[in-house]
Amino acid sequence: MEERLEPNEMIIHLGPQHPMQPGPFRLNLRLKGETVVDADIELGYIHKGIEKILENKTYLQGITIVDRICYLVALVNEECFVGCVEKLLDIEPPERSKYIRVILEELTRIQSHLLGIGEFAEFIGFVSMFMYAIRERENVVGLIDMVTGARITHSYLKFGGVRDDLPDGFKEKTLSVLNGLKKEIDNFEQMFHTDRIYRERTVGVGVLTADAAKNLGVSGPVLRATGVPFDIRKNEPYLVYKDLDFKVCTETAGDCFARVQVRLNEIRESIYILEQCLDQIPEGPLFPENSLYGRRTPVMRVPAGEVFHRVEDPRGEMGMYMVSDGSDRPYRVKIRGPYYPTLQALPPLIIGTTVADVASISGSMDGCTSEADR
Amino acid sequence: MTVVIPDYIAPLIPWVRGIIGLVLIGAIFIAAMGAVWIERKLSADIQSRVGPCRVGKYGIFQLVADAIKLFTKEDIKPQNADSLLFNNANIFMIGSVFLVLVALPVGAVFINGVEYPLAVTEMDISVLYIEAVSALSIFGIFMVGYGSNSKYSLLGAFRNFARMVGYEVPLGISIISVAVMTGSLNIVDITSAQGLYWNIFLQPLGCFVFFVSLMADMGRLPFDQNESEEEIIAGWITEYSGMRFGLGFFAEYMHMVLGSFLVALLFLGGWNVPGFIANNSFLGLIAPTGFLLIKTIFVLMVIVGIRWVVPRFRIDQVVDLSWKKMFPLALLNLVWAVGLGLYLGA
Amino acid sequence: MVLKNIKYAIRNISRPPVTRMYPEKPSELSDRFRGLQILDKSKCIGCGICANTCPNAAIKIVKAPIGPGSEKQRWFPQIDIGHCLFCGLCIDQCPKGALSSGKEYTKGLVKWHHKDMLMTPEKLAREVDLEKGDER
C-alpha cells in the first residue's frame, strides 16, 4: 500500500492507540483529501497465546483461562468449552442447571448489547448515550454478580452443572430490573428513530450485502442485519433453547442503522426468553445423579476423541474444536472467534467513504479485539 | 443616541474606559473558567454523574488546579514543526478575543434616568467590527493545524476552513437584518432601541439562523468536526501540550462567552428594563447589568447543553447545511426584516 | 428533530446521580463475592489438592504451627496474592472444606514488597491482623 503515493494522498494509521477502538488493532488508511482510497488491517497487538496455554492446563483450570478470551461475555465462552468437554465425557447436566445457564447467558447477552449500542453512539459524537446505556447495564451486571460472585470473569460453570444455585429473591429482583429496562429500551429506540442527525450519519452508511457476508463467514447481528435469518439457537439448539419461544430478529437494509436496530430487538427477545425461563425453571439437583461430577470435580481422564461445539455469542458464532488424547489435559483446542471474520469485512466497506464514516462503520460492528487475537 | 455628560467628568472618560478595559481582560478569564465549570457540572447532571466536587465546595476551584497542572507539563514540539506558526498561533486566537472585548458593552448603568453603557469604546460600526474581528480566530486554528506537521492536525485544519467559510455568510446576513430594522450599526443603539419588544419576537427566524451559525462559528458540537475525538484523536490541537493547549482551550471558551453576550444583546433585549426600575436610583445601577448577565448565562447553558445531547455531523453534511439551508433562510429573513422595518417606520 | 433527545436529557437532570463516592462510602459487595480466602486450620489435612488445582500456581504448602503460640507444626497452604486470580477453584476442590471466601480485597492486601504479599497460614486463618501483621 505504500508504493506510489500520488501527490495529494497520504497514509494515516488509526493506530493501536486510539480513543475510538474497542481494543488495539492497526487500520492503515490511504486517504485522498478526506476519502479513503485503500484500507488494510493488522491484528496481533493483544495476542495472549490462549490456545497454547490451554494445552498445559487441566480441563478444570482451563475454565478460568477460557473466561478471558472475551472478558465481556465470559459466560458464553465458558459454555462453549464446558459443552465440548461434556460431549467428550458423555454426561449431560440436569434440567435445572440448563435453565440456570440459559438465564445467565441471556443476561450476558443483554449487557453486551447495551455496551455495544452505547459505544456506537459515542463514536458518532453522542457521548451521553454511552452513559445512559452504562447506567442500565449496571443493574444487569449487578444481577449476574448476585449469582456468580463476580462481575467480569466468573468461573461459574462446572462440568455437569453450575457451581451455585440461584439465590433467594433473584426472581423478583430480575423481573423488576427487566421491567425498567423495557421502558428504557423504548426510549432509546425512539431517540434513535427521531433524531435527524443520527439518521443522516447511519442510514445508508456501510451497506453489507448478504452474499458478501456469507462469503466472508460473518455471523451474528451483522449477518442478521443483511436479511439472513441464521441463529445457532434455532438452527442447532443446545441447552433448553428448543423448549423456549423466541424469534430471530432480522432487518434487510444491512447498514449501520439496521445493525443497531437488530441489537435493540435482540435485547427485547432476550428479556422475553428470561421471563419464560424464570417461569418454567424446575426444581431439582444441580449435578447429574450417580455421577462423580459435582461441585468438586474428580480427577478427570477424558476419553480420547475429537469434538466440535458451537454456541451463539452476542457477536456471532463461537466454536471450539477439541482434540483429547486420553489424559487430563487437552491435546489441542482450536477456538473460532466471531469477531475475526467480521473484522475482515471492514476494509471493503470503508473504501470510498470518508474518515468520519470509518468510525461509524467500525463502531457498528461492535467488536472485542481481545477475541479476534486470542 | 446622545448622552449628556457634565463638564467635570468629561476629561476623565478615557481613563474610565481604560480601567474598564483592563478589568474586562481579567474578568473574561474568570468568565471562561466559569463557563468550563458550568459545562462540567451540566454535563454531569445530564449523565447522572457528579461533576467536580473535591476542589472547593461544588468544585469551583477545579479549573485553578487544572491550570496549575497545565503549567507544570513538559512543552513538546514536534520535530519538523514550523516554529513561526507553531509558537504564534495562540496569539491570534487570544488576540481576536481581546479585540472583540474592545467594542462589546457588558452592561449599563442608569443615573437619573440617563443610560450610560459600560463599553470600552463606542464606535458607529461596532457590530461590523465585532463580527470581522471574531473571524480572525480562523487563522489561529489553521496556523495550529498546519504548523504542527501531523496528519491528524492537517485533517482538522482543512475541515475547519470548509466549515467557517460556509457559516460566516449567514452570520453576517442575520446581523445585517437586525441592523437594517433598527437603522444603525452601533450595538448600543441596537440594544437600546429594542425597548421591551425583543428582537427575538420580531425576527424569530433571524434568531434561529444566528444561533446555529454562531454555534458553527465557535466550533461546538454538533459542528466540532475539527476536533472530533473519535476520528482524528484531537484534531487540530493534537500536538499541543501544556499551557499552549490551555490557551487554545481557554480561547474557545472565551469565544463562547462572547457569543452568548452577542445573542443576549442583539436578540434578547440586552439590558433593557421597565421604566420604573430605570428611574429608581439604587436599582438603576445594578439591575440592567444583572439582567444582561442572567440572559447571557441562560444562553450559555443552552449552548453547553446542546453539545451533550446530539450526535455530530459529517463534514460534507455541515457544508451542505450551510449553503443549502442556512443561506436561503438568512436571505428570507433579510427580506422579512426590510419589510418589517418599513412597516414599523411608516 | 432533536427534541426527544433534549427532553430525555432534561428528564435525566432530575434523577439523582449514580456515582458512588468512594472511598468515603465503600462499595457494596454481593453475598458471594470472592475476596481473600479464610483457612480453617482444624479441618485442613495438608493434602495439597488446592496447590495442584490453582491455575496460576499461587499456592504453596508450607509448615506452620497449628495454633497461636503452639509448638506442633503441620502443613498448611500459603497463598501468593500477586498471582491469585480469586477464581475460587481451591475452595471448591478442598476435600475437607477447609477454605472459604472472605470479603477483603484491598484492605491489608496492597503491599510494597513481594514477601509481604505471601499470605502465610496465620494470616489466612485470621490469627494476625492483615494490615499490621508484617514481620518488619
What CATH number did the domain enclosing C118 receive? 3.30.70.3270
pLDDT (mean) for B11-34: 83
Are A356 and B228 a contacting pair at CB < 8 A?
yes
Say which range, B24-33, B146-155, B254-263, has the weakest mean pLDDT.
B146-155
Indicate the pairing of strand A157-158 with strand A161-162.
antiparallel
Q: What is the CATH number of domain A46-373?
A: 1.10.645.10
pLDDT digits (tens, 9 = 90+) for C56-71: 899 999 988 888 878 8
> What is the rounded distance in angstroms from the CA atom of residue C127 to the CA atom of residue C136?
17
pLDDT bracket for residue C132 (50, 70, 90): low
Question: Which amino acid, C95?
Answer: P
* Choice between A352 and B233, residue whose per-residue pLDDT is larger: A352
pLDDT bracket for residue B1 (50, 70, 90): very low
The secondary element (H helix, E strand) that includes residue A53 is: helix A50-54
For A:145-164, CB contacts with C below 8 A are 145-150, 153, 155, 158, 163-164
pLDDT exceeds cutoff 60 at C134: no
Q: Give residue A2's pLDDT.
A: 62
Give, in degrees to the nearest 5, the angle at Cα B329 between B325 and B331.
125
Residues of B with CB under 8 A from a CB of C: 44-50, 305-306, 308-310
pLDDT (mean) for C76-98: 89
pLDDT bracket for residue A366 (50, 70, 90): confident
DSSP string of chain C, one letter each residue: --HHHHHHHHHHHTSPP----TTTSPPPPPTT---SEEE-TTT-----HHHHH-TT--EEEEEEESSTT-S-EEEEEEEETTT-----HHHHH-TT--EEE---SSTTT--SSGGGGEE-HHHHTTSS-TTT----
pLDDT (mean) for A288-305: 85
Q: Give residue B120's pLDDT.
A: 76
pLDDT bracket for residue A306 (50, 70, 90): very high
Give me the number of domains chain C comprises.
1
pLDDT (mean) for B283-311: 86
Are A354 and B317 a contacting pair at CB < 8 A?
no
CB A148 within 8 A of CB A275: no
pLDDT bracket for residue A117 (50, 70, 90): very high
Q: Give residue B3's pLDDT.
A: 54
pLDDT digits (tens, 9 = 90+) for C23-68: 788 888 888 888 888 988 888 888 889 898 999 899 999 988 888 8
pLDDT exceeds cutoff 70 at A16: yes
pLDDT bracket for residue A140 (50, 70, 90): very high
Q: Give residue C136's pLDDT.
A: 43
pLDDT exceeds cutoff 50 at A251: yes
pLDDT bracket for residue A30 (50, 70, 90): confident
pLDDT bracket for residue B6 (50, 70, 90): low
Question: Which amino acid, B15?
Answer: W
pLDDT (mean) for B82-91: 84
Say which range, A254-263, A301-310, B103-112, B206-215, has the weakest mean pLDDT.
B103-112
pLDDT bracket for residue B141 (50, 70, 90): confident
pLDDT bracket for residue B19 (50, 70, 90): confident
For A:189-228, CB contacts with C below 8 A are 190-191, 194-197
Are C92 and A295 a contacting pair at CB < 8 A?
yes
Contact with chain A for residue C14, Cβ under 8 A: no
pLDDT bracket for residue A107 (50, 70, 90): very high
pLDDT bracket for residue B232 (50, 70, 90): low
* Choice between A64 and A34, residue whose per-residue pLDDT is larger: A64
Confirm whether C130 is domain-assigned. no
pLDDT (mean) for A77-84: 92
pLDDT (mean) for A111-140: 90
pLDDT bracket for residue B234 (50, 70, 90): low
Cα distances from A26 to residues A12, A39, A44, A358, B79, in angstroms, run 10, 10, 9, 13, 24
Burial class (CB in 10 A: 0-12, 13-18, 19+), B183: exposed
Residues C122, C124, C128, C133, CA torsion sign: positive
SS3 A374: coil
Of the residues A131, A190, A364, the best mutation for testing chain B's interface (the one with the most B CB atoms within 10 Å of its CB) is A131
Q: Give residue B346's pLDDT.
A: 63
Quick one: CA torsion of B303, B305, B309, B310, rounded to 10 degrees? 0
pLDDT exceeds cutoff 60 at C135: no
Q: Give residue A179's pLDDT.
A: 93
Burial class (CB in 10 A: 0-12, 13-18, 19+), A114: buried
Are A357 and B313 a contacting pair at CB < 8 A?
no
Which chains lie within 8 Å of chain A at 3 or more CB pairs, if any?
B, C
Give, in degrees to the nearest 5, the angle at Cα A342 between A340 and A344.
75
Mean pLDDT in chain A? 88
Mean pLDDT in chain B? 83
Instruction: For residue B220, give the C-alpha cell.
Output: 461546538
**Domain boundaries, position C57:** 29-124
Q: Give residue A81's pLDDT.
A: 92
Q: Give residue B118's pLDDT.
A: 78
% of residues, chain B, pLDDT over 70: 92
pLDDT bracket for residue A80 (50, 70, 90): very high
Say which range, A37-41, A70-74, A310-314, B233-237, has the weakest mean pLDDT.
B233-237
Question: Of the segments B122-126, B317-321, B333-337, C113-117, which one has the largest average pLDDT value?
Answer: B333-337
pLDDT exceeds cutoff 50 at A121: yes
How many contacts does B have with C, using Cβ atoms within 8 A?
Answer: 31
Are C85 and A149 a contacting pair at CB < 8 A?
no
Are C9 and B49 a contacting pair at CB < 8 A?
no
Q: Give residue B155's pLDDT.
A: 78
Contact with chain B for residue C22, Cβ under 8 A: no
pLDDT exceeds cutoff 50 at B143: yes
pLDDT (mean) for A40-59: 90
Q: Give residue C65's pLDDT.
A: 86
Residues of B with CB under 8 A from a CB of A: 43, 46-49, 151-152, 155, 158-159, 221-222, 224-225, 228-233, 308-317
Say which range, A294-303, B113-122, B255-264, has the weakest mean pLDDT.
B113-122
Which residues of chain A lie closer than 8 angstroms to B47, CB-CB? 127-128, 131-132
Alpha-carbon Rg of chain B, whole angstroms? 21
Is omega for the bond preceding C23 within 30 degrees of 0, making it cis? yes
Contact with chain B for residue C3, Cβ under 8 A: no
For C:33-72, CB contacts with A below 8 A are 33-34, 53-55
Cα maximum dimension of chain B: 66
Alpha-carbon distance A34 to nearest alpha carbon in chain B (angstroms): 8
Alpha-carbon distance B47 to nearest alpha carbon in chain C (angstroms): 7
The secondary element (H helix, E strand) that includes residue B300 is: helix B283-307
Say which range, B113-117, B227-231, C16-20, has the weakest mean pLDDT.
B227-231
Alpha-carbon Rg of chain A, whole angstroms? 21
pLDDT (mean) for A219-231: 90
Mean pLDDT in chain C? 84
